Amino acid sequence: MSHDGAPELAAVEGAANLRVAVIASQWHPTVMGGLLDGSRRALRDSKVADVTELRVPGTFELPVAAARLAQAGFDAIVALGVVIRGDTPHFEYVCQAATTGLTLVAQRTGVPVGFGVLTCDDEKQALARAGLPDSTEDKGYEATVAALATAVTLSPYARGR
């Protein structure tokens, strides 16, 4: 996906009172460390104090965790994971399940889900997107800003939250 036309990444005004959950997979610790750091920076920049972090085994487990947290009353959820293509079709199955599952959570609950799942052909691509000092992108920050901005936009329409 081209970065051309992407909005500027910045703190989200009006997000300070949101209750946010960040779910991160455990695979690829260096990449996940960068994604989590980016998410934490976005939350800090946006002055969000009520944050719960949850670790799950892998990207496949992100949707079920997101569904449970959406039901628990969080205003926004950030899902972070990385899947790197291997020699079998497993890559496609995990990527499709995570994408579809997280989309359904957001649609069915009305809780914004920031999609911070990297689906990369190799580790080099993942490291370039992880928000590390040598990275060209910061997908953890991006996914968090997207979830916060959507939650703020939809806050007048929240159901008794």
Is residue 3 annotated as a catalytic residue, yes or no?
Answer: no
Residue 118: CB atoms within 10 A of its CB come to: 27
* Cβ contacts of 26 within 8 Å, gap of 6 or more: 32, 55, 56, 57, 58
Q: Going by DSSP bridges, is the β-strand pair 50-56/19-25 parallel, antiparallel, or unpaired?
A: parallel
Check 90, 100, 108, 136 and give the catalytic one: 90
Longest Cα–Cα distance of the chain, Å, equals 47
Catalytic residues, by residue number, are 90
